[in-house]
Amino acid sequence: MKNIGVLQARFSSSRLPGKVLLKVNSKPLLEVQIKRILQANNIDKLILATSVESSDDELEYLGRRIGIEVFRGSLSDVLDRFYQATQDYDFDNLVRLTGDCPLIDPDVIDKVIEKHILEGNDYTTNALEATYPDGLDVEVLKRDVFIECWKKATKKSEREHVTLYVNSKP
């Protein structure tokens, strides 16, 4: 099984602009988060997906400096940004991670992926029910389910929030 991780992050934030670049021990939070994600054993490739807005230039620079793939796409259509970011890769599962979880635990990432694969789920998350503290959120989607979401999600809210479409289906 190939698992591709996509970390969505942007500089703009209504509550705390620039939060992903705030520093802890002289390192931007986004760098801390990326290094933690890279410790997960079950992610075969990690892509930083940010927007084409000039305010996200520094995020692209940071990702490239660390040595991970960076994709830039729509600011508002985050689902399309994820889809476009993954088009050049063969993968079985998409692992969605968000830039507002800088202290993500690589072991939690691995456990959610393992549960997803072991149970043969279309979608697995630890974020809908409080199974872990806030900030340790992981979502995993089978590739075909992810593509179906991208094709069928039509509401603005479903395009802005990557898994809203799949979460709204019975």
Confirm if 37 and 5 have CB atoms less than 8 A apart.
Answer: yes
Reported pTM: 0.95
For the stretch 81-103, pLDDT in tens is 999 999 999 999 999 999 989 99
Q: How far is residue 77's CA from residue 19's CA, in Å, rounded to a whole number?
A: 21
Give pLDDT tens digits for 53-83.
999 999 999 999 999 999 999 999 999 999 9
Where do the domains of the chain lie, and which CATH numbers do they carry?
3-167 (3.90.550.10)
